[in-house]
Amino acid sequence: MMDLVIRNGLSDTTGETIEVGIKNGLIEAVSSTPLPPGAREIDAEGGMISPAFFEAHFHLENAYLWDGLINQSGTLLEAIEIYAEVKHDLTTADIVQRAGRVIQAAVANGTLWLRSHVDIDHIAKLTILNGVAAAREQYRDLIDIQLVAFPQLGMARNPEAVDMMWQALEKGCDLVGGMPHGEKNMADAARHIELAFEMAEKFDVDIDMHIDETDDPYWHSLELLAEKTIESGWQGRVTAGHCCSMSAWDDAMAARIIEKVKQADIHVVTNAPINLMLEGRNHHHPKPRGIARVVELLQAGVNVVCGQDDVQNMFYPYGQMDPLEVAMITAHAAHMGAPEEIQAAFDMPRYHAARLWPLEKYGVKVGAEANLVVLDAKSPVEALRRRPVRRYVLRKGIIVVESQTQTTWHQGAALWK
């Protein structure tokens, strides 16, 4: 007998009616005909059965740092300056408490994998890493979290941070991060990238960098990253977040660099919510959009993922850790309205992100781990348009979230008739 059977669901890939059988945390059956009774059964009520979501680019330690820390100019520079003033005062207990709020919201929205960038610099040293690592440990049974050592204040111009980065990797960070456009010029950006690859090769880990998070077309460190990736044989193991300056490049430059990104098999994470908010502030109209060229990247065959980045802090005042909201904002910002583009937006926090993680056995298929979401939606466009309640969230075959969907109309609601 199977441990759990989900009945009356829809396939997330074909739209066909399916039932899913789960045993020992794995999907044992996916059938278009009725399955035998299970020890427990749930009714999807015609909703979509999807693999769970990813949050591919986030900063756990500064979530909900809001009161008294308002970014008056709304710029990235001011946000970094505000954060630099308070980061050394963050305690492990405080980070765990705020990160816990974020994690619980993410899981309630069907997110079971999260990649968090952890500030490593001469100010905070390794204190923030200690806090985020403690939060990861506390919630390890609820969500898988990868930690990226992130030198936001530079490495070429901040040698102390280089030592701290090595220590962070020794203490358990999963990936090497970077922010080459935070250096003084492209030459220093190249050195920044070289240092990151030295670390990645030493520890045999992947790389995930903040890249060209600016609307200044001078910055094209994405090109340096692609070239270094190919040179090092790190294809498929590098992620570039933000990539905003490509919105300001001319078309010839964009085409040249996108081709190199494809050759390097670099994953691109676009952070449309925060980048729409921060980029272009200092420009008169017409203002640049400030996000990666999502459609052009997809057309070139680049794997594009979307990420929330922040929730209610000096970098971004909004957000509710809903991957469908982030995908919907991305679809608007990138003008993704054709059916195949809607599908791509829906897949960004799902199948696209699974390639970035990477996960080999991901999806609603036999043999995959039963990390699933039952959505009150019947199609990708409905899922993005309505961002409906997640009826059930399952982690390794165990129901961790169950939400009610029923709306009751009372008599007074009919008065307009």
Active site amino acids: 213
pLDDT digits (tens, 9 = 90+) for 372-401: 999 999 999 999 999 999 999 999 999 999
Average pLDDT estimate for 258-277: 96
Rounded Cα gap, residues 299 and 258, in angstroms: 10
Q: How many CA atoms lie within 13 A of 296 on its CB side?
A: 17
Average pLDDT over residues 99-116: 98
Give 283's pLDDT tier (boundaries 50, 70, 90).
low
Whether the upstream peptide bond of residue 36 has omega within 30° of 0, thus cis, is: no
Question: Looking at 141-232, which runs of residues are DSSP E strands?
Answer: 144-150, 175-176, 206-211
**Residue whose pair of structure tokens reads 């794997």 in the numeric block:** 303
> Taking 80 as the threshold, does the pLDDT of residue 406 lie above it?
no
Residue 188 has pLDDT above 60, yes or no: yes
The confidence score (pLDDT) of residue 413 equals: 57
Q: In Å, what is the CA distance from 328 to each residue of 107, 344, 416?
A: 19, 11, 32
The two beta strands, 372-375 and 48-51, are antiparallel
Residue-wise pLDDT for 337-372, tens only, equals 999 999 999 999 999 999 999 998 999 999 999 999
User: Picking from 47-51, 77-81, 160-164, 251-255, which range would have the lowest pLDDT averaged per residue?
Assistant: 77-81
Higher pLDDT, 282 or 30: 30
Name the residue type at position 196: A
Q: Where are the alpha helices (DSSP H) in 291-347?
A: 294-299, 323-333, 339-347
Considering only CA atoms, which of 196, 198, 200 is closest in space to residue 211?
196
Q: Residue 335 above 80 pLDDT?
A: yes
Q: In angstroms, rounded to a whole number, what is the distance separating the alpha carbons of residues 343 and 384?
A: 10
Question: Average pLDDT over the chain, rounded to whole?
Answer: 94
Q: Which two tokens stand for residue 313?
A: 């802090």
Residue 284 has pLDDT above 90, yes or no: no
Quote the pLDDT of residue 76: 85
Per residue in 117-129, pLDDT (tens digit) is 999 988 888 999 9
The pLDDT score that the predictor gives to residue 186 is 97
pLDDT above 80: residue 311: yes
Which residues lie closer than 8 Å to 119 by C-beta, 6 or more apart?
59, 61, 83, 87, 128, 150, 152
| Domain covering 2-52+362-402, topology | Urease, subunit C; domain 1 (2.30.40)
pLDDT (mean) for 102-122: 96
What pLDDT is stored for residue 414 in this prediction?
A: 55
> Rg of the chain over CA atoms, in angstroms?
22
The answer to whether 216 and 247 are in contact (CB under 8 A) is no
pLDDT beyond 60 at 416: no
229-251 in b/e form (b: 16+ CB < 10 A) is bbebebeebbbbbbbbbbbbbee
Q: What is the pLDDT of residue 290?
A: 84
Instruction: State residue 313's pLDDT score.
Output: 93
Q: What backbone phi and psi angles, to 5 degrees, belong to 52? A: -65, 165
For residue 88, the model assigns a pLDDT of 85
Determine the average pLDDT of the residues in 145-166: 94
- Phi and psi (nearest 5°) for 218? -60, -35
pLDDT given for residue 125 in this prediction? 87
Give domain 53-356's CATH architecture: Alpha-Beta Barrel (3.20)
User: Would you kindly state where each structural domain of the chain is located, as residue ranges?
Assistant: 2-52+362-402, 53-356
